[in-house]
């Protein structure tokens, strides 16, 4: 009896699992899928939802080569097979082949887009598929097939295909050169029309970019209409962010609908489809009494917007495969604090700017780069602070720097207190200190740059 072990192959993501088989005079027993043990050894936590078993009465039954739009764990319940896998995904390993003889002591994890085939070596063989999506006639339209006898694959079937039991459909599949390559999985970006969404779309040009019209968190039916097939990560850059309006009766309802109920729907989708979820958080989940905030600081929001963001964070954290990316003072392409100050400076306006709130700007291209790093490296799931680096400044300090950059006098910026600025205005409470500690994201291998005011102005 071998120990449980996981072995890689020369097809990326195709993994062989050695299964301990416990036998005695009665027969044998094995753990065919053991989530905790197998994922600890590196097997993907692929979230199976359906099991299929193919029983084959004769020796020489040959099935495949099929690549389905889901991951699967294949194994033999009884008998033995000669199995073959072909990488049908677009890319450098397209057409690569792996073959193996399988008995009850071996299972193989087959990632989406890798074609699967087998030939029975014993009569009465039962072949099992554990898959992470439900079969449907619509799903079958997304299969990719390749001919078993394609000489370009060079599969040495133990029983010649001329003598094997093969269905007419399997004999008619196209050659590899004519088969439709399976396109790689890609992330989906919600809120693609916003400042951060645009930066994410630039950083991930192959992503599914969903604007509010296509995916509105406050309208759950829009999320239900999205085809999540082939999505390998959901990046939620959408939110209700009208901080002051959230304090009104109508704004409160909208904030909760988007930032809480809508996020709950995303978490459900991510969990059902076993998709990692990246969720953008905010410094507003804290009251700002600490000079700098760590990821594990308890929530203490001051206003409705912060309360809804904190509630959304708590929901996202219930799904194991999550990245909560906490930011502050976000600026990017389009209208933002930096561009507004630049326009005022060029017009000769001397603005009043708050001088007793402190933090760091988060340039959208820096946030996008950090998110790409988390997903590419598959950093440990959890919460990560992610802003641009550099000194902690007040809003007035930043405004003065913008004035200097565009050639106006920094002294034209009138420094005022939050209380003075809010006189006569219906303003939500703001945290005094919004700076986020960046040690964790740096330890994960991403060092946020100290982007300049010039770089933000260049975005237009």
Backbone angles phi, psi at 272, to 5 degrees: -60, -35
Q: 5-178 belongs to which CATH class?
A: mainly beta
Residue 44, pLDDT score: 87
Instruction: Estimate to the nearest angstrom the gap between the alpha carbon of 180 and the chain centroid.
Output: 25
Amino acid 408: pLDDT: 95
As to burial, measured by CB atoms within 10 angstroms (0-12 exposed, 13-18 middle, 19+ buried), residue 2 is: exposed
Active-site residue 129, yes or no?
Answer: yes
What is the reported pTM?
0.84
pLDDT at 456: 74
pLDDT at 333: 84
Catalytic site residue from 127, 129, 240, 384 = 129
* Domain boundaries defined on the chain: 5-178, 186-459
pLDDT at 459: 65
**Is the CB of residue 235 less than 8 Å from the CB of residue 188?**
yes
Position 450 scores a pLDDT of 87
Q: How far apart are CA 171 and CA 367, in angstroms?
A: 50
Main-chain phi, psi angles of 37, to 5 degrees:
-70, -45
Known catalytic membership, residue 381: no
* CATH 3.10.20.30 corresponds to the domain 186-459: no
Residues composing the chain: 460
Contacting residues for 281 by C-beta, under 8 A, at least 6 apart: 309, 312, 313, 324, 325, 326, 327, 383
Per-residue model confidence as pLDDT tens digits over 401-444: 999 999 999 999 999 999 999 888 889 999 999 999 999 999 99
DSSP code of residue 412:
G
Using alpha carbons, list the distances in angstroms from residue 183 to 88, 94, 126, 144, 178: 9, 11, 31, 11, 15
Low-confidence spans in the chain with pLDDT less than 50: none
Per-residue HEC secondary structure of 294-309 comes to: CCCCCCCCCCHHHHHH
DSSP string of 126-178, one letter each residue: EEEEEESS---HHHHTT-EE--TT-TTT----SS-TTTSEE-HHHHTPPPGGG
Nearby residues of 274 by Cβ (< 8 Å), 6 or more positions away: 45, 46, 47, 132, 321
């Amino acid at each position: 009896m071998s120990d449980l072990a996981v072995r890689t192959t020369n097809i990326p993501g195709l993994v062989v699992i050695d299964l301990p088989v416990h036998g005695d005079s009665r027969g044998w027993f094995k753990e065919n899928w053991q989530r905790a043990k197998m994922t600890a050894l590196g097997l993907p936590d692929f979230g199976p939802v359906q099991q299929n078993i193919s029983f084959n009465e004769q020796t020489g039954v040959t099935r495949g080569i099929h690549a389905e739009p889901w991951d699967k764990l294949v194994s033999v319940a009884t008998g033995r097979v000669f199995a073959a896998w072909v990488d049908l995904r677009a890319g450098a390993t397209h057409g690569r082949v792996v073959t193996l003889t399988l008995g009850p002591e071996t299972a193989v994890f087959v990632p989406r887009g890798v074609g699967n085939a087998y030939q029975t070596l014993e009569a009465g063989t039962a072949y099992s598929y554990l898959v992470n999506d439900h079969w449907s006639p619509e799903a079958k339209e997304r299969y990719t097939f390749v001919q078993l006898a394609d000489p370009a694959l060079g599969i040495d079937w133990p029983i010649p295909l001329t003598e094997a039991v093969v269905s007419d459909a399997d004999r008619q599949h196209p050659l590899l050169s004519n088969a439709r390559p399976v396109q790689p999985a890609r992330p989906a970006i919600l809120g693609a029309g916003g400042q951060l969404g645009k930066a994410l779309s630039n950083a991930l040009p192959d992503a599914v970019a969903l604007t509010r019209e296509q995916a509105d968190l406050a309208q759950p039916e829009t999320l239900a209409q999205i085809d999540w097939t082939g999505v390998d990560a959901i990046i939620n850059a959408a939110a209700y962010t009208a901080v002051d309006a959230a304090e009104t009766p109508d704004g409160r309802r909208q904030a909760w609908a988007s930032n809480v109920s809508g996020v709950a729907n995303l978490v459900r989708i991510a969990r059902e489809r076993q998709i990692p979820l990246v969720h953008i958080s905010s410094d507003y989940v804290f009251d700002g009494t600490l000079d700098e905030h760590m990821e594990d600081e308890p929530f203490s929001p001051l206003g409705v917007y912060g309360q809804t963001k904190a509630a959304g964070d708590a929901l996202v954290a219930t799904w194991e495969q999550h990245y909560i990316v906490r930011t502050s003072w976000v600026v990017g392409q389009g209208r933002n604090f930096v561009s507004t100050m630049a326009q005022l400076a060029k017009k000769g306006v001397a603005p009043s700017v708050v001088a007793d709130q402190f933090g760091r700007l988060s340039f959208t291209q820096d946030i996008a780069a950090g998110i790409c790093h988390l997903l590419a490296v598959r950093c440990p799931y959890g919460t990560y602070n992610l802003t641009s680096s550099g000194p902690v400044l007040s809003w007035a300090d930043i405004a003065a720097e913008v004035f200097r950059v565009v050639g106006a006098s920094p002294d034209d910026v009138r420094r005022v207190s939050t209380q003075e600025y809010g006189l006569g205005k219906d303003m939500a409470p703001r945290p005094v200190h919004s700076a986020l500690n960046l040690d964790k994201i740096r330890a994960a291998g991403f060092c946020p740059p100290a982007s300049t005011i010039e770089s933000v102005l260049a975005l237009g």
